[in-house]
Amino acid sequence: MKKMIIQGGNKLNGSIKINGAKNSAVSLLPAAILSDEYTIIKNIPEITDIEVLKDIITLLNGKITKEKNQLIIDSSQIINTTIPKNLSNKLRASYYFMGVLLAKFKHVEIYFPGGCNFGARQIDYHLKGFEALGAKITVENEKLIIHADNLQGSEIQLPFPSVGATINLILAATKADGTTIIKNAAKEPEIINLVEFLTNMGAKITGEGTDCIKIIGVKKLKSATIKIIPDRIEAGTYIIAGALMGDKLKIKNINAEHIKSLLDTLRKMNIDYNLEDDNITISQAKNISPIQLKTSVYPGFPTDLAQPITVLLAKANGISTIQETIYQKRMGHVEYLKKMGADIEIKDNIEIIKGPIDFQGTEVLASDLRAGATLFLAALTSEQKTVISNVEFILRGYEKIVKKLSSVGANISIEEIK
Ligand code: EPU
């Protein structure tokens, strides 16, 4: 168990480089084993979720070599074996092995995925999609067994543009017989990154980035290379840090198009920044305007930044609201922000935030990954010391966080809890 200690109040000056996107990496690693040869994935983030996926690939007899920030994955000798509970329940993305093993072996044995707890996070769209491709699903003592005598392309209408279901069905359909069409597909940039990788391997996919994706199954997939796109949520988090405490804080290696909804929102809040190519420079904002915000699927405002931006709204002059529309329950940060002095009420799935306030350092707990990010942002602004427990959640998504924030002037450390 680890805790993060932040003595806030320091201005942040210098530059932070954004790493490869977690939510791309976590689908690209499972996708790699679809190749009958080897693949190279560049710009791998150093986060703990990647380590679990590497353990699963190794269990399946994939050979992984690390060279600087790239992984070379030899998947020529992949075997099919049960993915045990202690690996599958460590993260959400373990479920992408359903799609790849179904495509490769037409048989999968795996336990339900883990991930942050935002209320019920069902996988019914994934499973119904596999069934539409001809798979039969049984559950034995919490173990899912997915089997298809024959995987046959099909037309699948998703009830909601789920990122995970879109990815899993693309993966499963790459080697199915015939054509699969996914309607009401998710359009997130991470899906485009995955399709680029699969296309480089020889898959036949069109329509990525739109709500209708077409996959024509192929028999073999070859060697390929892919570079992971910049993490738009990590970028957004540090941009918010800049608006809170920056003194010309420069965030490097961003894709501005991917964070347009955040940048537009900052403008509405009267927050200035300087965007140049793939860098953005931002300083502590004064006279922040309150806003009404609603999360949405891409290109709308991402649910993953709704928690972090709460800290900035707590600094606005007046009452702001954030309506969470993607998850039933993603408000784990509120209790602890209130403990730090925020004035926040929750009504249904709407946060009502009264600003401006000063955050007070105290002992808090990261209830999930982005709740943890929210707390370290609030802590950076506080004149007192904040101690955040459950830091393991934060390390799942923020690479070298102590190094990155210390290098721009923050007083931050992580210690083992004895
Ligand atoms: N849903 C269902 N049934 C399904 C699939 C989804 O009801 O079969 C519901 C979910 O319960 C949720 C909504 O649909 O209410 C959206 O879920 P989606 O499948 O789009 O999300 P996900 O694939 O589980 C990914 C990211 C999340 C991010 C969401 C939305 C990964 C590993 N996770 O989750 O990232 O919030 O898309 O953009 O890619 C994070 O990084 O902090 C994070 C939670």
pLDDT tens digit string along 47-73? 999 999 999 999 999 999 999 999 999
- The CATH number of the structural domain formed by 22-227 is 3.65.10.10
Ligand 1 site-directed mutation target among 123, 163, 229, most atoms within 8 Å of CB? 163
CA-angle at 350, arms to 349 and 355, nearest 5°: 150
Residue whose Cα lies nearest atom 1 of ligand 1: it is 122
Which residue intervals of 226-368 are DSSP H helices? 232-245, 260-268, 303-313, 332-339
d(CA 340, CA 363): 9
pLDDT of 142: 87
Q: How many CB atoms lie within 10 A of CB 124?
A: 11
* Stated pTM of the model: 0.97
CA-angle at 348, arms to 342 and 354, nearest 5°: 25
Ligand 1 site-directed mutation target among 49, 52, 160, 367, most atoms within 8 Å of CB? 160
Q: What's at 133, amino acid-wise?
A: L
pLDDT tens digit string along 207-251? 999 999 999 999 999 999 999 999 999 999 999 999 999 999 999
State the average pLDDT over residues 356-384: 97
Could you tell me the residue ranges of all domains in the chain? 2-19+230-416, 22-227
Using pLDDT thresholds of 50, 70 and 90, give the confidence band for residue 152. very high
Residue 116 appears among annotated catalytic residues: yes
pLDDT of 198: 98
Of residues 16, 108, 121, 126, the one with CA closest to residue 56: 108
The yes-or-no verdict on residue 74 having pLDDT over 80 is: yes
The yes-or-no verdict on residue 339 having pLDDT over 80 is: yes
d(CA 215, ligand 1 centre) in Å: 22
Tokens of 229: 């796109």
To which H or E segment does residue 71 belong? strand 70-74
pLDDT of 116: 74
Architecture of domain 2-19+230-416: Alpha-beta prism (3.65)
Same fold: 2-19+230-416 with 22-227: yes
State the average pLDDT over residues 400-411: 98
Q: Are strands 319-323 and 350-354 parallel, antiparallel or unpaired?
A: antiparallel
Q: Is 300 in the pocket of ligand 1 (CB under 6 A)?
A: no
All residues at 6 or more sequence positions from 357 whose CB lies less than 8 Å from its CB, including other chains: 314, 315, 341, 342, 343
Annotated catalytic residue, options 6, 73, 78, 116 = 116
In the chain, % helix, strand, coil (3-state, to 5) comes to 35, 30, 40
Of residues 133, 136, 124, the one with CA closest to residue 156: 133
